[in-house]
Amino acid sequence: MTINDERYPANFISAIIESDQASGKHDGRVKTRFPPEPNGYLHIGHAKAICLNFGLAKDFGGQTNLRFDDTNPIKEDIAFTTAMKEDITWLGFNWADERNASDYFEALFDYAVQLIRDGKAYVDSLSGDEIREYRGTLTEPGRNSPYRDRSIDENLDLFSRMRAGEFADGAHVLRLKIDMASGNMNLRDPSIYRIRHVSHHQTGDAWCVYPLYDYTHCISDALEHITHSLCDTGFEDHRPLYNWVLEQLDMPSRPQQIEFSRLNLQYTVTSKRKLKQLVEEGLVSGWDDPRMPTIAGMRRRGYPPASLRDFCRRIGITKSENNVELALLESCVREALEPAAPRAMAVLDPVKLVITNLPETASLSLQVANHPKDPAMGDRQVPFTREVYIDRADFRLEANRKYKRLVLHEEVRLRGSYVIRAESVVTDDTGNVVEIHATYDPETLGTNPPDRKVRGVIHWVSATENLPAEFRRFQPLFKVPFPDAEDGDYRDLINPDSEVVFFGYVERSLADQDLSTRYQFEREGYFVQDADQGRDGVLRFNEIVGLRDSFSKTGQI
RNA sequence: UGGGGUGUCGCCAAGUUGGUAAGGCACAAGGUUUUGAUCCUUGCAUGCGGGGGUUCGAGUCCCUCCACCCCAGCCA
């Protein structure tokens, strides 16, 4: 599947765009923007917004700008912009223009002066606390600030002196003059400029007054000729303000804000504050920890970018609350991997099995298909030796017929190899099986014995011709489906077993592998080499996602 | 009667101008299988938050209740 085959299923936003194109609005043009604030890493929720903005524009022959919403220098860092661009590119999207809201600081200032001249904005000298008091509450109207009726000249003078740096942080603020009695809190004379004597990662020390989001965003959209400005439903009651500002000014275009609901994914958190805390407190190894819902984390985990795009399309776009199950994401990942991942064998929890009727010097080279349904993926040679490793879970001293693995005195097939029979076991002082002795049936390579039915098939790796490796298997970072809804500290809900390390072996054929190849270790799951390789010569694999398992979940194990 | 939203199968989600409930995930049951994987087949809402009403006919129109979410940053 190429990205061009991917189209968004019908949703209410695509319907709006269709009707806009049909009516000739915006001359049929479609332009969106993805506007992250560079104050953290992009996560799965952003992926939804990225796929929507870039995907919809692409679907309708339009373009998408990348715009860093950098109006708050206190919280932002240029390092995040670099990571964000890498994430978006990796996801498979290309932006038309890269912009910063800070590119518009001069224009924004001029528009503010214009609003003052028109009597639509004023400098307020109330303190932050006072402004809050005057604002009223959700059910009571606010009161006008005593500074609301300053003369235009005084406002002009004050505002220019604010810019000139004559005042301390918080001394004044520029406010829009709308309606302190509005039921919509956003319309109660919102602040649009604050004084902050801090340098900005893009503009340095050029400014000490910085515009706020509501004022900046709509103008930035208009300046970039954005046609459809998509954001989450949290901004729904900001829309009247968005429109108000654009209506007061003489703008080159008139964008439309449309809100859709943000993604809620079970067993994870996506609040920037919490993700940042997980990283800073060392609860995870970093922004790209494979258990993190960040794009960087999912990339390191091995999720193919196409699977994320597929996921974002399948969850749909609406305005309603949603709680998407992890199973859907995992299904998308498996679907992308199943046809593409070459198969190999790895034993994560090894126990030695000695094939007693095979000479010690024997090393048969078996030809094994790299994919059961795709001959084009070729074959590989797998050494079959007297001693091999199998997984502990694949052997039992006794079991009922439902157990389709190796049982003492019974037969099982070694995947891609022969049928073997477990003859005896060696145990240690505590009774643990430390070695299994078996015999193989030389007549069973590539064919089943005609006279009897073999229990099942298990995977294995030569004990003498292999590659030792470390494996990390993952479970959701949180123990509960809705960590945000739980009382108490969400950090107490972290699953202590979310990462489990195994030391085992993979077949020798992976020695010269491409670091980016995503494998399916048969009967175990999909794995990819970790980005952190070679610091000590250890081969390290991350589990991308397990195989669907209809056996263990039935509780029959 | 502060303002703004949302309620269709366990989860997500389609449902043009009212015409007799898509699809995906999950789940269940079969079949194929040298991965308990994949793949294939079948099943899975007389019901669309509740109650009224209009209509030959309503998830779609009207009325009325109910539930849940968002908003009181000089954050975005």
* Tens digits of residue pLDDT in A451-487: 999 999 999 999 999 999 999 999 999 999 999 988 8
Asked whether residue A551's C-beta has any atom of DNA/RNA strand B within 7 A, the reply is: yes
What is the per-residue pLDDT for A552? 74
Q: Where in chain A is the domain with CATH 3.90.800.10?
A: 105-213
* CATH number of the domain located at residue range(s) A344-464 in this protein: 2.40.240.10
pLDDT over 90, % of chain A: 92
Could you tell me where the beta strands, DSSP code E, fall in A12-154?
31-34, 63-68, 98-100, 121-124
* Active site members of A: 37, 262, 272
Whether nucleic acid strand B comes within 7 Å of the CB of A233, the answer is yes
Q: Which nucleotide is nearest to A216 (CA to C1')?
A: B76
Split at pLDDT 50, 70, 90, the class of A534 is low
Answer whether any strand B atom is within 7 A of the Cβ of A371. yes
pLDDT band at A1 (very low <50, low <70, confident <90, very high): very low
Decide if pLDDT at A298 tops 90: yes
> Residue A160: which region, alpha, beta or left (left: phi > 0; alpha: psi -120 to 50)?
alpha
Amino acid A134 CA to nucleotide B27 C1' distance, rounded Å: 56
Chain B: nucleotides below 7 Å from protein CB are 2-8, 10-15, 22-28, 33-39, 68-76
Determine the pLDDT at residue A5: 56
H or E segment and range at residue A154: helix A152-164
Residue A90's pLDDT band (boundaries 50, 70, 90)?
very high
A380: β partners: A368
Task: Please say if the pLDDT value at position A553 is more than 70.
Answer: no
How far is it, in rounded angstroms, from Cα A352 to Cα A369? Answer: 25
Q: Which of the nucleotides lies closest to A187 (Cα–C1')?
A: B3
Q: Output the DSSP codes for A478-525.
A: BSSS-TTTSSS-GGGGB-TTSEEEEEEEEEGGGGG--TTPEEEETTTE
Which residues make up the CATH 2.40.240.10 domain(s) of chain A?
344-464, 467-545
Task: Please write the tens of the pLDDT for every residue from A406-459.
Answer: 999 999 999 999 999 999 999 999 999 999 999 999 999 999 999 999 999 999
Q: What is the pTM of this model?
A: 0.96
CATH topology of domain A105-213: Glutamyl-tRNA Synthetase; domain 3 (3.90.800)
- Phi and psi of A514, rounded to 5°? -80, 135
CATH 3.40.50.620 domain residues, chain A: 3-96+220-331
Answer for the pair A236, A259: CB distance below 8 angstroms, yes or no: yes
Options 2.60.120.620, 2.40.30.10, 2.40.240.10, 1.10.10.10; CATH for A467-545 is 2.40.240.10
Q: Which CATH architecture has domain A3-96+220-331?
A: 3-Layer(aba) Sandwich (3.40)
